[in-house]
Amino acid sequence: MNEDYRTTESEKLKPPVTSVGVIGWLKGNLFNSWFNSVLTIVTLYFLWITVPSFIRWAFVDSLWISTGAECHQAGGACWSIIPANIRFILFGFFPYESQWRPLLAMILLVGLLYYSQNRNHWKKSLAYAWILGLFIMGLLMKGGLFGLDSVESTQWGGLPLTLLLSVFGLTAAYPLGVVLALGRQSKMPAIKTVCVIYIELIRGVPLITLLFMSSVVFPLFLPEGITVNKILRAQAAIILFTAAYIAEVVRGGLQGMSKGQYEAAESLGLNYHQTMRLVILPQALKIVIPPTVSILISAFKDTSLVVIIALYDILKTTQSVLSDPKWMGFSAEAYIFIALIYFVCCFSMSNYSRRLEKELDRSL
């Protein structure tokens, strides 16, 4: 009896074929209303036209190792432009025999950045590691000591220049931005006015203007014969620009803090610096991680604007290769390659920020 009971109990009707498996998923997600059905069909049609021809161009008909002349004959993508010119694209004018030096410096930088991702590693030893690492990087790039040939900074280019401008630009801009935000919140009128004027002035002009100012107008005001390093000038412009934007984001975070936090800190007898350092900033900066990171990412991409003042960052070295008659016309391939490099950098930044947000999340 019991057994019979159990069989009838466990007997289950299968759901209709149209609501499970592939068909069910299609029906539930792609064709669940007439509007979505139309969208699905239109999208599929576009994919049908574009994807096969793209794959044919990029992979089937493409050339990977060949000369420019062979590429001009073939119909597909000419990826050969990358391997044939990779060293100029990556390192620009750095002396050909010494290009292991910027390569090593970049590996060191990326390694240090990667190691610093983990907050458990944030100790005093890491700070020493950074100082040592920066010294070695500077030595590798500049040379002149320990038997390394001296290399002028005018010969720096390509990816090391892009990384240099962005890593140092962003690390210097962030604290400056925080200070400016605090200044704008300050009760002292002089400081407040200076910060407001600075932020509004910088935000009121495009980065290109600042770069032009730094490279074209600024040198005219210096006495004859005195020139400030071009990379340094561009770097300063990028720092000043990014700091103003970060300041406004951080101000948003500061204003988002409830008054109770300030009052609680005061009632504990903390002075201004302690209040900011121990109570307000740790919370405010955490809130603004997403907008800060999006500013940092866009600042990273904006470093490519230095092409207009003829600094050879990775975009400019690529364009220079494209102006060679041998490789003229293969801009799509070269730009796809550069886009990939930018994507990897930006994606890892935003990925890290999401992780950091999760780790710092103490909300209940």
Q: Of 62, 80, 166, 215, which lies in the binding site for another protein, with binding defined by CB under 8 A? A: 215
Instruction: Return the range that interacts with another protein (CB under 8 A); candidates 125-133, 193-201, 215-223, 258-266.
Output: 215-223
Q: Of 61, 200, 263, 324, which lies in the binding site for another protein, with binding defined by CB under 8 A? A: 324
Ranges within 86-105 binding another protein (CB under 8 A)? 87-88, 91-96
Can you tell me the distance from the alpha carbon of 254 to that of 246, in angstroms, rounded to the nearest whole number? 12
- Total Cβ atoms within 10 A of residue 238: 27
Tell me how far CA of residue 141 lies from CA of 20, 133, 161, 172, in angstroms. Answer: 61, 12, 10, 20
Ranges within 136-165 binding another protein (CB under 8 A)? 152, 154
Is residue 319 within the footprint of another protein (CB under 8 A)?
A: yes
Torsion of CA 68, 70, 75, 80, to 10 degrees: -50
CB-count burial class (<10 Å; 0-12, 13-18, 19+) for 146? exposed
Tell me how far CA of residue 345 lies from CA of 114, 297, 338, 342, 356, in angstroms. Answer: 12, 9, 11, 5, 17
| Torsions phi, psi for 281 (to 5 deg) | -60, -45
Q: Of 216, 264, 339, 344, which lies in the binding site for another protein, with binding defined by CB under 8 A? A: 216
Can you tell me the distance from the alpha carbon of 352 to that of 116, in angstroms, rounded to the nearest whole number? 11
Min. distance of Cβ 96 from another protein in angstroms?
5
Min. distance of Cβ 33 from another protein in angstroms?
41
Indicate the residue among 39 and 222 with the shorter CB distance to another protein. Answer: 222
Min. distance of Cβ 108 from another protein in angstroms?
22
Q: H/E element holding 178?
A: helix 158-185
Min. distance of Cβ 331 from another protein in angstroms?
6
Min. distance of Cβ 224 from another protein in angstroms?
5
Is residue 84 within the footprint of another protein (CB under 8 A)?
A: yes
Indicate the residue among 195 and 238 with the shorter CB distance to another protein. Answer: 238
Min. distance of Cβ 199 from another protein in angstroms?
22
CB 184 within 8 A of CB 196: yes
Ranges within 299-318 binding another protein (CB under 8 A)? 308-310, 312
Is residue 212 within the footprint of another protein (CB under 8 A)?
A: yes
Indicate the residue among 116 and 155 with the shorter CB distance to another protein. Answer: 155
- Helices 230-256, 158-185: crossing angle, 10 deg rounding: 40
Can you tell me the distance from the alpha carbon of 359 to that of 28, in angstroms, rounded to the nearest whole number? 35
Can you tell me the distance from the alpha carbon of 124 to that of 131, in angstroms, rounded to the nearest whole number? 11
Instruction: Return the range that interacts with another protein (CB under 8 A); candidates 20-28, 55-63, 221-229, 260-268.
Output: 221-229
Indicate the residue among 47 and 216 with the shorter CB distance to another protein. Answer: 216
Is residue 1 within the footprint of another protein (CB under 8 A)?
A: no
Min. distance of Cβ 335 from another protein in angstroms?
10
Residue 180's nearest CA partner among 244, 254, 253 is 244
- Total Cβ atoms within 10 A of residue 18: 10
Residue 197's nearest CA partner among 176, 221, 180, 173 is 180
Is residue 53 within the footprint of another protein (CB under 8 A)?
A: no
End-to-end CA distance of the chain: give it in Å, rounded. Answer: 53
Is residue 323 within the footprint of another protein (CB under 8 A)?
A: yes
Min. distance of Cβ 127 from another protein in angstroms?
36
Ranges within 62-81 binding another protein (CB under 8 A)? 72
Is residue 56 within the footprint of another protein (CB under 8 A)?
A: no
Indicate the residue among 267 and 323 with the shorter CB distance to another protein. Answer: 323
Residues near another protein (CB under 8 A) are: 72, 84-85, 87-88, 91-96, 152, 154, 212, 215-217, 219-222, 224-227, 230, 308-310, 312, 319-320, 322-326, 328-329, 331
